[in-house]
Amino acid sequence: MQTKILSSDTQTKYQVQICEQIRYTNSRRYLDVCVAPLNRSLFSRWRHRSVSDKTGQFEDIQDVISRYKLLVRTRKDLQQSQEKDKEMIKQTKVLLDRYEAEKEAETLQYQNELEQLHQRFAQAQSDVRSWTARWADIQNRNAKNALMLTTMKTAIHNLFQCVNK
Amino acid 12 reads T
Answer yes or no: is 9 within a domain: yes
Quote the pTM value: 0.41
Containing domain of residue 34, as a range?
1-58
pLDDT digits (tens, 9 = 90+) for 13-26: 666 666 655 555 55
pLDDT digits (tens, 9 = 90+) for 57-111: 556 788 888 889 999 999 999 999 999 999 999 999 999 999 999 999 999 999 9
Answer yes or no: is 26 within a domain: yes
Answer yes or no: is 38 within a domain: yes
DSSP per-residue string spanning 83-141: HHHHHHHHHHHHHHHHHHHHHHHHHHHHHHHHHHHHHHHHHHHHHHHHHHHHHHHHHHH
Of 25-29, 41-45, 63-67, 124-128, minimum mean pLDDT range: 25-29
d(CA 118, CA 165): 69
Answer yes or no: is 150 within a domain: no
Number of structural domains in the chain: 1
d(CA 36, CA 59): 28
Which of 3, 40, 7 lies closest to 48, judged by CA?
Answer: 40
Answer yes or no: is 27 within a domain: yes
Answer yes or no: is 51 within a domain: yes
Answer yes or no: is 34 within a domain: yes
Answer yes or no: is 82 within a domain: no
d(CA 53, CA 55): 5
